[in-house]
Structure 1
């Protein structure tokens, strides 16, 4: 063996040893890599398992949330927010779950048929869909409420009409019974059955039916004739409120709309109206009360209720006059007693009244009172015990001048 062969052997042994070491290192690295790969695979499998579990849970929740859309009862009661919510869920899952895909199609069909909105145009914008459904629902509710109100009004009108028909039928039966009982009196005075609807005439006929003495018969006879005449003028139901209002306000100063809210005032106005018509028709009244007395009684009642208005006007006139005299106090004191009742002063006083809003009749009344009752202030101081005292003008005196206007002749 040569020397070179020994060196080669040494080198060959070193190489082998190095290769052996390298091989062992490689094996170690390979085992580590395989361990890492195995660990990675285990981690990936765990993560994948968890992901699949989460996905399954979410799909179950989605399917549970979308299950109501297949029921007609749910759609009948669903609110806009409920519909928008299931729409958003279905749109988000329809590419991953068959149930969501079917629900999305059902939602589109129901929303389109019920509200006229195509969910394809809305997309996944749940807020826009909810707003649209709310608007349509509110308008539909308004129309339904209006229709319900109109239906209730129609029903109420129908019920009212039915009630009126029943009342009319009952009234007809009542008049028929009265007509049978008062047949003799109705034939004597030629009274149609429908005239019995006039309460005053029906009462007069009953008085005639029950009359036992010639005096009672004569009184009932006069009442019936008067009522028949008035029905010929005003109809079975008598004058209406507008007729009385126009007639009274035209002939009585101070009467206005507010007075015709008082039943007693209206009653007095009607009595005045009837007394005037009867006087024009040649009637004289009864043995107990003439037409003139009836007119005066109604007139007195009217003016008693107008007295407050008359006092208010008179107080306003006298208050204005008093204030004017106070403002001119020094000048008034210098006026002589002889000039106090002069014609010039009376004319000036009448002119001052015209500025207060009083009418011509009221001005004349106050001027007359001033002439008859006016006393100079100095005269009031020197007036003795036996001197006549000035009379206080009666409230409403100015209107009293008009009381006989249009009334029956005295």
Structure 2
């Protein structure tokens, strides 16, 4: 666990109330932890997510910190659901360290393994990337700045249908992320008059699978017009190579946030030039501006993409603003004020720490304008609306932004 700045541990608040202190109370320093993928099948998401958290903390501390002290951030590894003990150990480490909020995990399955321990300890958990639909409203102390699969699945399903496919194949692993997203896509395709010809319930593959010859052959034999790959990055290169070997037209292939990456033409995950040309993928979140990308690169010059970096930045900012509004840095106070600072009850629109914190300190209600484009938290602690980016691969097997579509997040 790496501590960027040493400060005192958070303390409890006697009266979190509904905020309304205008940030005038003298709270203890804020300590935030992260459980994000440094290793495992989602390790490509770790660098931008960690950079998003670090950027938010840097901007807060550069402006004087919170309650007269720097915000401290403690980073730990989540790995993935196949290495569940890593996240479990990280959660216990952060709980023992006295953090008031934890940013993470990226994987919905990993979150399900640790969320009870975290929220049961009165710690606010904010995931920048969880999308499983059954996490909506899971706990009063669980929030996310990424939308549930109802939004991405709707956009992906409609994208596939609008491209002319009526018989859809889905290569999906048996993980709550994959099956949740599959169910939404299948519903959209069926509503449009199409059919999922492969990948329905009972046709998932094991997340530990390494040989995809039979799986791919069965999918192609079903006669799909398009194939969506709903998996993580450790399975996806092998799936792509098997699809190519069996003669599949890769331009009719669709990726999602769990496996959308710049594969390139070299290395273990690279493919020959042109392999993925015109394939498409979806990714929750508004496309980050060049200015925001530049700020993230100042924190981590080695970043290769920005997936869920804005959501991690927003999660950290909302936690700090909630503490400021409530006048204390403990988990209960933060939880009580998260919806309010997100704009759930209206308020003055603001961006960034300096502008938003100044309004809070003046006693005003705020509506934090998320860099990721998500709307205020709804009653299930999901963002009430979100953008889904649509991306297209070029000849070098790297994806570029095409367009965004905004969707509302259903409740209940």
TM-score (norm 2): 0.17
Structure having greater relative contact order (Cα 8 Å, sep ≥ 6): 2
TM-score (norm 1): 0.17
Q: Which of the pair is proportionally richer in strand?
A: 2
Q: Higher Cα Rg: structure 1 or 2?
A: 1
